Structure 1
Amino acid sequence: MQQNGTGSTDTESGTGGNGRLVGLVTVLALVNFVVDSAITAPLLVLPEMLDHFGTGQAAWLNATAMLAGVMWAPLLGKSADIHGKRAVLILALLISCAGALLCAVAPSIWMFVLGRMLQGAALAAMFLSVAIVRGVCPPRIAMIIVGIVTSGSAALNIASRFLIEQLAEEFGFQILFLVSAFVAAVMVICVRTVVPESPVKRPGRIDVGGALLLGGGLAGMLGYVSLGSDLGWLAVGPLALLVGGVAALARWFLVSSRKPDSLIDIGDLGGSLVLTLLVVFLAAGAYQSLLQLVPLIGGTSAEQQLGYGLADQGSVALLLAAPGLGVTLGGPAAGWLAARIGPAATLAGAVVLGTVVSLGMFLGASRLPAALCCGFLLGVTAGALGTSGFNVAGSLASAERQGIVSSLVMVVLSVGAVVLDFVGAAVLKSTAVTVDGGTVNSATGVFSYIAIACGAFTIAAVLAVMLVRSTGLRHHTSPSPGLKRERV
């Protein structure tokens, strides 16, 4: 691939350029499939894993990879800006591959947890893919490709679920981790062969201590929220994570401002980037919490007379599949819109759509057609929000800081999802009622849950409008004399 005058890879000239572009998009989309195989797919075999290790601590097996991914993100993002995004992406895939192999052969639960922590490095694949695209493609094309890369694997994820279940039944849950390791290894070869190295690198050193403090602090606090509900809020493990997380973040905040080459220069973070991260945090949490509510509503029958329920109205399988289809369409559509109306306006549109859809869930809780529509549009919102968040943040950052900025977007996407899921779960638990000797979610809890998501979307929409008004990204898709990139 040749460099054009702006420093981006010329992917538009000639059939060869088009072929290389298709190859790049295909490989990076498949790289993001590795993220699903490492982070979320193991949930399908969670009961088998619990039985194998003779434990009831599902939280450790479930949340460890995501928590570790949040910890890995700042370190790998900064490393990518200095040493090259392709090189660090390959490293992340190799670490994930090693973690999957360890999980497949782990003789004890603690060895398995260590493997899951290594697998968490796969989370970097998504934001590094985005940074690679922005580094090698012209800005307008990059926005579209970011949508395809971040959302294109959603349909493949849905199809793989059925295969994973069948393989696990026949060969045991370990086969899932062997498959994950194999896919990661194949992607290492593909990335090395197809993906060009970053044309822009930032000279400097990696603040390893700062990265570990920031990542460890975020993972510790997120771990308390994730694990506390299962293990107990005053249990030794979750409390240790909370105290350690708060201490690490406090130490990072105090030290980073005095370092000349800190991981993130807080003083120059930029108001527009902060607004972007807040919007993504709130909106990601809102849509993820609603997606978690969908199967709870779908598994409840209206005959129980709780004021909600869809189980007796038709195929609930469609209800669960609709968001995946929406994600597949929402990401590329958001990229296409961003190239025409600007990434900030597209982000605002995604949040407004999510607000309207969350209101529709009040009706969807008891009407299957409305629920199907809302489920699909929630998926569209999810795909569009992730794509737009990466596009806005990338447009606000200089070329040599794409890695660290993309990692921050990935962090707030993950943290927002966990925090709002916890808040919703706490509401459902506190409002549960007893029916025929069993505990079920009440209508008060379900509709309060939806109302919280509506509130988060509404606040995010207000912030998104402020973002559009405060930046030149409404009409510009690349830096110009009238649009100065902000430092991060």
Structure 2
Amino acid sequence: MTETLEKPARPVREHRWSKRLVLWAGVLILANVLADMAVSSPMMVLPQLLDHFDTDQAAWLNASALLAGALWSPLLAKSADVLGKRRMLVATLLISCAGAVVCLVAPNVWIFLAGRFLQGAAFAAVFLSVALARQISTPRVAMALIGLVTSGSSVVGIVEPYVMQPVIDVFGYRSVFFVAAVLAAVAALCVRTVVPQAPVRGGGRVDLKGALLLGGGIGSVLAYVSLGRDQGWLSGLMLTLLAGGVVALTCWVLLALRTEEPVVDLRGLTRPILLTLLALVLAAGSFRSMLQLTSIVAQVPAGLGLGYGLGEGEAVAVLLSAPNVGIVVGGTLAGWLAGRYGPALPLLGGIAVGAAATFAMLAGVSVLPLAIACGTVAGMAAGAIGASGYNLATGLEAPERQGTVAGLVSVVLALGSVVFNFAGGEILKATEIAGVFADGAPVSTATGVQVYAGMTGVLFLLAAVPALMLARGRTPIPSPS
């Protein structure tokens, strides 16, 4: 009897859906809404920003938060495992709030970019909420919760342009950052007061040097890929970024191999985790490229006679919002299926659905109903792949390392998105038609668009290979405990 009393109390985790769990899910979705807004909302006021700061550096204003997010991720992911998931999620939201305030009052473009660097910390909210969801509920419930958390914020993408545009028209570009700051503060307060602390926390320390080398290396390489086309691939700044990134990543690998507690344990990356990351980098590149192609085709009027184009009236708004509907449906469904059959099958299913939508889009580039259907299905694939990737990777790691692996998934998703979006953009650039524009932007030939869609389809097929290997070797889902 004495022995029983001396055992530490076992943390209580939600083993079924309840009002309390629904409330937690709502708060975590709110935190992820901030991540979406931090990256996307400023693009709604990009012309006003360029005019206010008297600059033509649109690429830096566009990519700054995403690149900062890649830099922040390794540090915040490892810190979450050591210091606690909820604590780091609250800290992340407060850092992003401070960044939005800096952007709000920035007197020049350099201080504005510093604010965007802080605001980019919101990128970590997604994987921190995933790690937290894993530990406040049992495995079967957590998978469905992760599906909701990773995809639910896309609802905002459906209504945001309609809600924010009137506000921007009245109050100007600063309204975007005011809303982001308020939302971040509210989300931080809600997480701190409503969501419980994760019961599992790892020991050891945070490898600050390794985190800075890894984050800085990834951020520099992504900056080169993202900005090189606008800034000049062989310009001094771009070459410095690339060289600095390669050196930083090389130093990080050497450090990680001899450090007892590295920010990412390269020696501990098992075959299933490596297969998961490979599938995700290819699949992320596939669905992001597909969504980018849909947005481009949506803004080209069919009247130009190019053999493709759908941009007329409300068609643009419908085509741009359809993928967000699909993301919510796909992510939620994938989480529910993962709780019953494991996350490997929904990952493979999402990739198969994405491939089907991509190849159908070869005809949908000139047929509006088919394009809307393809955009929606591509969104479903994106939601399913994201939710299943987080579920699969975190399920393969011990609880005290789930924050780190969730952060790694986020970085891999960003890496695939940036690299293959760039590749698609280069295809379109190589097939531009001289002197022909849509909404002021150059347009490409029908052949260029078809090659772009074909590339995306091939990437989906390549992603299916490691996903199929994972599905064939899947393990049973743990029963609730």
TM superposition score category, shorter chain reference: over 0.9
Contact 1:74 1:214 in 2 (8 A): yes
Q: How many residues align?
A: 471
CA distance in 2, matches of 1:155, 1:437: 32
Specify which of 433, 445, 448 is matched with residue 445 of structure 1. 448
Structure 1 residues 104 and 67, CA gap change in structure 2 (3 angstroms): same
Deviation at 1:298, TM superposition (A): 1.8
One-letter amino acid of the structure 1 residue matched with residue 287 of structure 2: Y
Specify which of 458, 461, 466 is matched with residue 458 of structure 1. 461
One-letter amino acid of the structure 1 residue matched with residue 445 of structure 2: S
Deviations 1:277-336 (A, max 9, x none): 111111111111111111221222333222212235973322221111111111110001
CA distance in 2, matches of 1:313, 1:89: 41
Q: What does residue 95 of structure 1 align with?
A: 95
Contact 1:299 1:311 in 2 (8 A): yes
Secondary structure of 2:218's aligned partner: helix
CA distance in 2, matches of 1:170, 1:312: 26
Contact 1:31 1:125 in 2 (8 A): yes
One-letter amino acid of the structure 1 residue matched with residue 68 of structure 2: A
CA distance in 1, matches of 2:145, 2:430: 44
Deviation at 1:431, TM superposition (A): 1.2
Q: What does residue 192 of structure 1 align with?
A: 192
Secondary structure of 2:250's aligned partner: helix
Secondary structure of 1:48's aligned partner: helix
CA distance in 2, matches of 1:208, 1:67: 19
Paired residues for 1:246-325 under 5 Å: 246-311=246-311, 315-325=315-325
Contact 2:139 2:480 in 1 (8 A): no
1:476 equivalent in alignment to 2:477: yes
CA distance in 2, matches of 1:437, 1:468: 45
* Residue segments in structure 2 that go unaligned for 5+ positions in a row: 1-7
Deviation at 1:75, TM superposition (A): 0.5
One-letter amino acid of the structure 2 residue matched with residue 53 of structure 1: F
Contact 1:225 1:418 in 2 (8 A): yes
Contact 1:339 1:477 in 2 (8 A): no
Deviation at 1:436, TM superposition (A): 5.9
Q: What does residue 110 of structure 1 align with?
A: 110
1:334 equivalent in alignment to 2:337: no
Q: What does residue 486 of structure 1 align with?
A: none
1:153 equivalent in alignment to 2:153: yes
Deviation at 1:6, TM superposition (A): 12
Deviations 1:457-476 (A, max 9, x none): 0000111101222342xx32
Select between 150-159 and 132-141 the one with higher mean Cα deviation: 150-159
Structure 1 residues 314 and 40, CA gap change in structure 2 (3 angstroms): closer
Structure 1 residues 393 and 478, CA gap change in structure 2 (3 angstroms): farther
Q: What does residue 5 of structure 2 align with?
A: none
Contact 1:77 1:407 in 2 (8 A): yes
Contact 2:154 2:325 in 1 (8 A): yes
CA distance in 2, matches of 1:248, 1:7: 42
Secondary structure of 1:201's aligned partner: coil
Q: What does residue 142 of structure 2 align with?
A: 142
Deviation at 1:38, TM superposition (A): 1.0
Deviation at 1:233, TM superposition (A): 0.8
Deviation at 1:181, TM superposition (A): 0.7
Deviation at 1:71, TM superposition (A): 0.7
Contact 1:343 1:477 in 2 (8 A): no
TM-score normalized by the length of structure 1:
0.93
Contact 2:15 2:141 in 1 (8 A): no
Structure 1 residues 436 and 410, CA gap change in structure 2 (3 angstroms): closer
Q: What does residue 351 of structure 1 align with?
A: 351
Contact 1:74 1:211 in 2 (8 A): yes
CA distance in 2, matches of 1:477, 1:343: 12
CA distance in 1, matches of 2:479, 2:393: 12
Deviation at 1:51, TM superposition (A): 0.6
Q: What does residue 205 of structure 1 align with?
A: 205
CA RMSD of aligned residues (A): 1.9
Deviations 1:117-160 (A, max 9, x none): 00010011100000000001010110001011111121123212
Contact 1:68 1:121 in 2 (8 A): yes
Deviation at 1:85, TM superposition (A): 0.3
CA distance in 2, matches of 1:69, 1:414: 9
Structure 1 residues 437 and 229, CA gap change in structure 2 (3 angstroms): closer
Q: What does residue 432 of structure 1 align with?
A: 432
Deviation at 1:45, TM superposition (A): 0.6
